[in-house]
Amino acid sequence: MKNFIKEFKEFISKGDVMSMAVGIIIGTAFTAIVTSVVNDIIGPLIGLILGGIDFKSLAIEVSDARIMIGNFIQATINFLITAFVLFLIVKSINAMKRKPKEEPKEEPKEPEIPEDIKLLTEIRDLLKK
């Protein structure tokens, strides 16, 4: 049992689990921001443009069953708006990141020939003549 508890402590204290936990917490907080942007800003603007159309009340009645197709349509529209807002946020964050400056590439220089090799080359050339 002690070994089991020790393994569990090691698992919990690993960086992967901690990173995942932090990511989930940050994601939850970010979700609240995106939801607010969609519900409090974008949604009312679209409502003004569409003349206040609300799909939630749209339903199909089959016998005694009431199929709330409007809820599905509204959820789909909310998803698309949320995805678009999230896309814009990520795009703007990526644009704010600094792009690393590329240093100008130097042309490769030919290796410098040592003096003794130059002298030997001259002697060789003279001997060939």
Give pTM, 2 decimals: 0.48
Instruction: For the chain, count helices (H), then strands (E).
Output: 5, 2
Q: Is residue 111 part of a domain?
A: no
Q: What is the CA radius of gyration of the chain?
A: 34
Q: What per-residue confidence (pLDDT) applies to 121? A: 86
- The tens digit of pLDDT for each residue in 29-68 reads 888 887 888 778 877 787 788 777 667 778 888 888 888 8
In three-state form (DSSP H/G/I as H, E/B as E, the rest C), the secondary structure along 77-111 is HHHHHHHHHHHHHHHHHHHHCCCCCCCCCCCCCCC
Nearest to 90 by CA among 30, 7, 5: 30
Q: Is residue 108 part of a domain?
A: no
- Crossing angle of helices 69-96 and 15-36, rounded to 10°: 110
Q: Is residue 124 part of a domain?
A: no
| Total domains present in the chain | 1
Residue 29's domain is classified under what CATH number?
A: 1.10.1200
